[in-house]
Amino acid sequence: GAVVSQHPSRVICKSGTSVKIECRSLDFQATTMFWYRQFPKKSLMLMATSNEGSKATYEQGVEKDKFLINHASLTLSTLTVTSAHPEDSSFYICSAREMTGVAEAFFGQGTRLTVV
């Protein structure tokens, strides 16, 4: 299957700083990328959907100014957690879909964010 790479896999940051997480599709062009958040022992919660070249669509309850998403190219989307706080600590996972009309999406390996 297609490969989606997330970087970094782990990051620790201080409260008040911002952290950027990258999601890259390595062998295909991703028209749509999704960002999820996963709490310990919980399921994946969709945060936002981003289409290349347009603004991301955020799910209800997700602060768009807190979680900045940029999908500037067909192979890269970034999630920036701004002014991070300890409650933002979580596992963040991206997925990418190759083309419109195709349902299958491929998942990155996730990023463990710890805010201290």
Partner 1 sequence: GESVGLHLPTLSVQEGDNSIINCAYSNSASDYFIWYKQESGKGPQFIIDIRSNMDKRQGQRVTVLLNKTVKHLSLQIAATQPGDSAVYFCAEIYSGTYKYIFGTGTRLKVLA
CB of 72 or CB of 102, closer to partner 1: 102
Q: What are phi and psi of 86, to 5 degrees?
A: -55, -30
Do 92 and 36 touch, CB atoms closer than 8 A?
yes
Q: What are phi and psi of 87, to 5 degrees?
A: -70, -10
CB of 19 or CB of 110, closer to partner 1: 110
Interacting residues with partner 1 between 41 and 100 (CB under 8 A): 41-46, 49, 91, 93, 95, 97
Binding positions for partner 1, rule: CB under 8 A: 1, 6, 32, 34, 40-46, 49, 91, 93, 95, 97, 103-110, 112
